[in-house]
Amino acid sequence: MNSISIVQLLSNAPIGENVCVKGWVRHFRGNRFIALSDGSTIKTLQIVLDFENMEEDILKQITTGACLSVEGELIASQGKGQALELNCTKLEVLGTCDAESYPLQPKKHSLEFLREKAHLRPRTNTFGAVLRVRHTLSFAVHQYFNTKGFFNLHTPIITGSDAEGAGEMFGVSTLNKKDIPLTENGEIDYSQDFFEKETNLTVSGQLEAELGAMGLGKVYTFGPTFRAENSNTARHLAEFWMIEPEVAFADLDDNMDLAEDFMQNVIGYTLKACKDDLEFLQNRLTDEEKSKPQNERSDMPLLEKLEFVTSNNFKRLSYTEAFDVLRNSKPNKKKKFQYPITEWGMDLQSEHEKHLVKHFGCPVILYDYPASIKAFYMRLNADGKTVRAMDILFPGIGEIVGGSQREERHDVLLQKMKDLNIDPEELWWYLETRKYGTCVHSGFGLGFERLVLFVTGMQNIRDVIPFPRTPGNADF
C-alpha cells in the first residue's frame, strides 16, 4: 500500500478508509498509543495498537525516535487532543532507535543543546516548524518575482571581485598549502592557481545581477553568500542566503515601492500557508518571554506583528530626518543609547533603527544616506554628500533590507572607485555597462535568514538555517 502524508490525512480526513502512514515516534504511552510525526505538519497522528495481540519483540522496538510504517483504518477519535486516529492492523519497524542513547527524549531541550544536534533537530516541533516556514518563504519569493516578470539569474559563487569592498572574504585556491609559490616580491603567486588570479567565495551577487538587468530588464538572484566576518552574534552567519533583485529603468522611489510590496506579499502568503506552524511558534515565543523583563518582551504577539507589517504602509523618511528624530529622542537626551547620536554622517546602529520603528509605530524606510557610510556603487545625489540608498527597518529586528539606485554615470562611478582605492581594472566589465547603453537602475538585497528570523519569531539566526556556519563551527 502506498503511504500518505499526515498533513493530507488531516486535511482530507478519509474516515473509514484503510491507509498507510510512515514516520517517527514522538512518544509511546501505555503500550497502546503512538504519536507519529512525518514532518509534513506540526501535528502528529495518533496510532492505536491492539497491543495484546502484538508480538512482544515488536512492542519493545517502538521507542521515541523509531521509524515506523503503519497500516490501518482511519477513524474519528474518541479521546481528547485529536480529531482522528488510526486503528493499526499492520506495523513494521523500519528503523529502531536506542531509547537510552537517543538525544531527543520527549522533554524540552535548550536551543543551544539542539544546535549541537543539528543532524537530529529537524525532528523537533520547533525546528520542523521553522524549516517548513523557511520553505514556504522561499517558494513565495520565487512565486512573487515570477508573477512580476522577473528572471531568476544564477550568479557566480566563486568570484574575483569584492562587491561590498569590505575585504572579509573566504579565499578559494588549489595551491599546495605546503609549498605555496611566491612572486619575486614574496607575495603569493596566484598566476599558478586554478583561475590564474586571486578568487573568493562571493559576498553578493549584486554586481553580476546588474549586468543581467541591463539586458533582461528585471532579474533576481537567490543564492548562498559568504562573509569571513568574525562576528559571534545572534544576527551573523558566515554562510547565508541572499535575495537580490535588480531592475532597469527604476529609480529609488520605484525601488522602495518594490521592496515594500515584496515584503508584504511574501509575509502575507506565509501567514496563510503556515498558520499551524506560526501559531505554534507564537506560543513558543510567548512562553520563552515569560522569564524576561517586560521591556525585553515583544511589543505584540507574533501573528499580530506579521499582520501589522502586511497591512500598514511603511513610513519613509530621509537619513537627515531620522537623525533629527534620534538626536531629539528621550533615549539620546538621557544618554540611554550605547552609541549617542552626535554628528550627522554617523552610521546608525541597531538600537537606533529599533527606536525609529517604535517611534513611528510601523516599518520604516530610510533613504538618502551619507555617501561616506555607503558602498561605491550607490548613486550620488546633487548635494555631493548623500547617495540614493535605502534601508527597510522592521519591528524588533532593525535593518532587514538594504538597497539603492545604482550609479549609472561612468565618470562619477569611476571617480568614486578611485576615491575608495578600488582598482578600476578589477571591475572593467562593471564599468563597461556604464559606457554601452547605460540607464537608471536600482536594486536591493535581503538576507533570507533575517526574513525567516522575523517571520518565525526566533531570536538567534543560527536557529533558522539547517546547518549554521559561524566562527569555529563547520560541523555537519
Give the pLDDT confidence score for residue 196 in this predicted structure: 95
Contact 119, 463 (CB under 8 A): no
Q: Within a domain: residue 112? A: no
Residue 272 has pLDDT above 60, yes or no: yes
Residue ending a domain, among 105, 134, 151, is 105
Locate 313 and state its grid cell: 504602509
CATH number for the domain spanning 25: value is 2.40.50.140
Kindly state whether residues 301 and 362 are assigned to the same domain.
yes
When divided into structural domains, the chain yields a total of 2
CA neighbor of 220 nearest in space, from 403, 391, 399: 403
Give the pLDDT confidence score for residue 408 in this predicted structure: 98
Q: Within a domain: residue 113? A: no
Kindly state whether residues 27 and 162 are assigned to the same domain.
no
Kindly state whether residues 142 and 54 are assigned to the same domain.
no
Residue 166 has pLDDT above 60, yes or no: no
Cα separation of 50 and 154, whole Å? Answer: 54
Q: Within a domain: residue 211? A: yes
Task: Name the residue with cell 540607464.
Answer: 439
Residue ending a domain, among 105, 131, 155, is 105
Locate 87 and state its grid cell: 486503528
- pLDDT tens, 273-299? 999 999 999 999 999 999 888 878 888
The 3-class secondary structure across 241-310, one letter per residue, is: EEEEEEEECCCHHHHHHHHHHHHHHHHHHHHHHCHHHHHHHHHHHHHHHCCCCHHHCCCCCHHHHHHHHH
Q: Mean pLDDT score of the chain, rounded to an integer?
A: 94
DSSP symbols for 392-453: EEETTTEEEEEEEEB---HHHHHHHHHHTT--TTTTHHHHHTTTSS---EEEEEEEHHHHHH
Q: Within a domain: residue 117? A: no
Q: Within a domain: residue 228? A: yes
Rg (CA), the chain: 27
Give the pLDDT confidence score for residue 344 in this predicted structure: 97
Contact 221, 244 (CB under 8 A): yes
DSSP lists the bridge partners of residue 84 as 76
Cα separation of 206 and 401, whole Å? Answer: 14
Banded model confidence at residue 395, pLDDT cuts 50, 70, 90: confident
Give the pLDDT confidence score for residue 164 in this predicted structure: 63
Kindly state whether residues 79 and 164 are assigned to the same domain.
no
Kindly state whether residues 13 and 149 are assigned to the same domain.
no
Kindly state whether residues 144 and 61 are assigned to the same domain.
no
Kindly state whether residues 15 and 127 are assigned to the same domain.
no
DSSP lists the bridge partners of residue 27 as 35
CATH number for the domain spanning 163: value is 3.30.930.10
Contact 73, 16 (CB under 8 A): yes
Banded model confidence at residue 25, pLDDT cuts 50, 70, 90: very high
Cα separation of 87 and 70, whole Å? Answer: 9
Banded model confidence at residue 84, pLDDT cuts 50, 70, 90: very high
Give the pLDDT confidence score for residue 235 in this predicted structure: 83
Q: Within a domain: residue 188? A: no
- The parent domain of residue 47 ranges over 6-105
Kindly state whether residues 267 and 140 are assigned to the same domain.
yes
Q: Calculate helix-pair angle for 125-147, 448-456, nearest 10 degrees.
A: 120
Give the pLDDT confidence score for residue 349 in this predicted structure: 95
Banded model confidence at residue 414, pLDDT cuts 50, 70, 90: very high
